[in-house]
Structure 1
Amino acid sequence: MSGTGSHRACGRFTVSLPAMTDKHLTNIGFDSFDLPDPVLQGIREAGFEYCTPIQAESLPIALAGKDLAGQAQTGTGKTAAFLIATLNHLLRHPAHEERRANQPRALILAPTRELAVQIYNDAQALTKYTDFTSAAVFGGTGYDKQRKQLEAGVDILIGTPGRLIDYYKQHIYDLKAIQALVLDEADRMFDLGFIKDIRYMMRRCPPPQKRLGMLFSATLSFRVNELAYEHMNNPQSVEVAPEQVTADKITETCYMTANEEKIPLLVGLMQTMTEARTIVFVNTKRVADKVWGFLQGNGIDTAVLSGDVPQKKRLSLLKRFQEGELAVLVATDVAARGLHIPDVTHVINYDLPEDAEDYVHRIGRTARAGASGDAISFACETYAFSLPDIEAFVGHAIQTQTVDPALLAEIDPNSRVYPKKGSRQPHRGKDGHKGHGKGHHHKSHKPKDGEKPKKRRRRRHGPKPPQSGNRE
């Protein structure tokens, strides 16, 4: 680790960074590493010159062929670090002559479809001057297309566990030729219940001694470290953590608000923002639909990103948001982790998350790569209890303030917009109760003119009750 200003203590690398040319970059250039020319060309064309702290600390270990488990704050360059290390390893260690086309050489596991696509896009840029092929495999779309890609053969396979295991069990590909294995957002894998699938995949790769293993995570909890030591070859632990959990350029504010004030406050705040790119986080899909409906109904063009939005539509919405065509995205926690969306100026926690760690991941969508941003939270009657845990987790008090009536927009209760027919939004009658959707309404029993009312037969459940006097 010479040249990085780090020292080793108790088998763990503790960061002591050298002087930086920028607060979020070290003075260590990528050209200072002994990287193959095709990789360096891709790095330069991608616009990278100096390493971030996690890159400066992890690359010397991985480039030396040693396994590592890396922890760093979200948005600090973990993806580039493991891609560069993977490409170097594949170029330095040619594939075995007996390798078949449907045997990938590198496997990168991601917890979400959006993250898999992001890693794939970064891989495309960094492999431009190599002969490597890559593919992204994930559920929700493109089943036959992805299958054909695997059958044709790829060098770098990126994907989510479910779809990967599906194809594996069909013998579309196998993992016997894997030379590099990467597990990204490992803590998120536990949160989403993927850990059995991850172990299934890892056990079907060559043993740890015969491949390069890298694990990256926002937190290196006990269970993440246990996974690393179980399936990796004596991994070195690299932790690059700032003095504070949240990014230092995020301005955090919390409004103490009543439940009925949340929509007027949200609309009022949105109306004061100019040239903003905002993600509004909610805890449930039902609330996402409600927030979307009122924003849309009050002239604020918005989209919803949640787990049950079809994959093709999710990717389209993300692209529109990333390109600035959409200024506001209402999202559940599916969008809180692993996505790099540039130039997000505001994050609004319409609902405070019940898990304090989710707060950090949500507001981490703004103030990325050295930019500044605003994180605004609503501490309402339902979720205010989460605030003390969040403040304890981030290590500082969040500035709270009461709601200025001037911030509350006048909202017509009938201004809410509902999704068009054919969506998953339930039908709602005039009384506001959920119905059963088109074609499933109960028939009316109102009699026609001159017709006697029909008696509705009550449907009995179970045996006929005993008559009076015959009870036992």
Structure 2
Amino acid sequence: MKSQDPMTDTHLSDTSFSQFDLPDSVRQGIEDAGFSRCTPIQALALPIALKGHDVAGQAQTGTGKTAAFLIAAFNRLLRDPAPAERKQNQIRALILAPTRELAIQIHKDAVTLGAHTGLKLGLAYGGTDYDKQRQQLVDGVDILIGTPGRIIDYFKQKVFDMRVVQVMVLDEADRMFDLGFIKDIRFLLRRMTPPTERQSMLFSATLSHRVMELAYEHMNNPEKVQTRDEQVTAQRVRQVVYYPANPEKIPLLLGLMKRIGPSRSMVFVNTKHMADKLEAWLKGNDIKVAVLSGDVPQQKRQRLLKQFENDEFQVLVATDVAARGLHIPDVSHVFNFDLPQSGEDYVHRIGRTGRAGAEGDAVSFACEDSAFYLPEIEQYIGFKIEAGAIDPELLVKPAPPAKREIRERLGAQNRGDRGGKRASPRRRREHT
């Protein structure tokens, strides 16, 4: 969890965590995390949540919402003891996230903030450690963090019980809709304690009609909060769009990387096929790169992310499955090699940079195949993105793509790889 320096973090509010009436064990966790002043969303949400009221908050990734709902959840569980008749497999709090990466990050932050509380944490997500995750629920946890698919799997097996849940958190609610999880969410909400008997917190990048409908249906008169200066895209992310012809995209990307020299960058594409192709070109031009897509096994995903954080490669090429929930510090640039099909995906892609008040750059290519997505994106974010001029010097003549990479990809395709197709909501769900 990234520490906050009260002298230099201008994105922080004037509200201090010391102003809140918190259990000593929670206060110690906040100090361990290096937090002193609240971010704007924390300053708005915590006074309401610490009184036990439900909250529906509009918050982008990287604004501190995770700490807000974790602190509120710890406060509720410590000051409102569990029923004496509570059984070992009955959880007290459920925190739902749309992606395994986000679930892992929430759990990591909870370990830090809750280190002195004595509360047991559980983590459940698809792709790995099925028996290990199952056993921890059998042994009993206070707070269960995870993705809907794996959690429903264990619930239907009666591995755990939700009849004494005191806190429910739904993170990135809008993404739950995008990935087709809303039926699963409603399934879980209808099987835990009634809204009047638990505290519920919902956070979303946008508090759209569909999100608020979910809030009013399954929460107890939630108070809606959003910062006054909240905008759809991070304030400190500089955005520019270029209009290359399709054959110019790779020369332009290489030229921009040569000119800018990004320290750590992510390049987003719309298909796995393009991710593999781009990886070969970048490697052929002496750029250390790795690919993160939906079919990468969970353990390898975690290893790649760790290597990226440790600067073992400069560029991470990713499909939209990696756009949300990833907390990678110090990403200086995000490149939309392919424009995404929706404004929401654009926002979450460029949200990988400019996190926690830092500055960042987002560079997009509106090419022949994707330029028609731009009007919807600009309508969603509320302004027109500045156009960049393509200087002929920017169009670097690339070296040939790495031949070994091409052979590996062709071999994978011959074995039945269908990477060229965009993942459907059903397939995305399978990877959570």
The TM-score, its normalising length taken from structure 1, stands at 0.84
Give distance in 2, aligned partners of 1:166 and 1:266: 43
Point out the more displaced range, 57-66 or 233-242.
233-242
Is the CA contact (8 Å cut-off) linking 2:82 and 2:92 kept in structure 1? yes
* 2:167 corresponds to 1:167: no
* 2:292 corresponds to 1:305: yes
1:360 alignment partner AA: V
Give distance in 1, aligned partners of 2:231 and 2:10: 14
Give distance in 2, aligned partners of 1:404 and 1:248: 27
SS in 2 for 1:214: strand
Is the CA contact (8 Å cut-off) linking 1:296 and 1:417 kept in structure 2? no
Question: Could you say if the C-alpha distance between residues 308 and 349 of structure 1 is closer, same or farther in structure 2, counting changes exceeding 3 Å?
Answer: same
Give distance in 2, aligned partners of 1:366 and 1:30: 26
Match of 2:353 among 345, 359, 366: 366
2:383 alignment partner AA: H
| Deviation at residue 274 of structure 1 after TM alignment | 3.3
| Deviation at residue 22 of structure 1 after TM alignment | 4.9
Give distance in 2, aligned partners of 1:243 and 1:25: 13
* 2:127 corresponds to 1:140: yes
Aligned pairs, how many? Answer: 411
SS in 1 for 2:356: coil
Question: Could you say if the C-alpha distance between residues 417 and 395 of structure 1 is closer, same or farther in structure 2, counting changes exceeding 3 Å?
Answer: farther
| Deviation at residue 412 of structure 1 after TM alignment | 3.8
Query: Structure 1: which 5+ residue stretches go unaligned?
Result: 1-19, 429-433, 439-472
Larger relative contact order (C-alpha < 8 A, sep ≥ 6)? Answer: 2
Counterpart position of 2:423: none
* 2:411 corresponds to 1:427: yes
Match of 2:329 among 342, 350, 373: 342
Query: Structure 2: which 5+ residue stretches go unaligned?
Result: 1-6, 418-432
Give distance in 2, aligned partners of 1:321 and 1:418: 20
Is the CA contact (8 Å cut-off) linking 2:242 and 2:390 kept in structure 1? yes
| Deviation at residue 426 of structure 1 after TM alignment | 4.1
| Deviation at residue 414 of structure 1 after TM alignment | 5.0
1:173-193 Cα deviation digits (max 9, x unpaired): 111121101000001000000
1:224 alignment partner AA: V
Is the CA contact (8 Å cut-off) linking 2:285 and 2:401 kept in structure 1? no
SS in 2 for 1:213: strand
Q: Percent identity?
A: 62
Give distance in 1, aligned partners of 2:186 and 2:260: 46
* 2:139 corresponds to 1:155: no
Point out the more displaced range, 90-99 or 324-333.
324-333
| Deviation at residue 155 of structure 1 after TM alignment | 0.8
The 5 A counterparts of 1:432-443 are 435=414
SS in 2 for 1:31: helix
Counterpart position of 1:384: 371
Give distance in 2, aligned partners of 1:348 and 1:21: 28
* 2:222 corresponds to 1:235: yes
| Deviation at residue 315 of structure 1 after TM alignment | 1.1
2:290 alignment partner AA: A
Is the CA contact (8 Å cut-off) linking 2:283 and 2:401 kept in structure 1? no
Question: Could you say if the C-alpha distance between residues 294 and 180 of structure 1 is closer, same or farther in structure 2, counting changes exceeding 3 Å?
Answer: same
1:427 alignment partner AA: G
Is the CA contact (8 Å cut-off) linking 1:186 and 1:215 kept in structure 2? yes
Is the CA contact (8 Å cut-off) linking 2:124 and 2:147 kept in structure 1? yes
Match of 1:281 among 244, 268, 279: 268
* 2:375 corresponds to 1:375: no
Counterpart position of 2:27: 40
SS in 2 for 1:70: strand
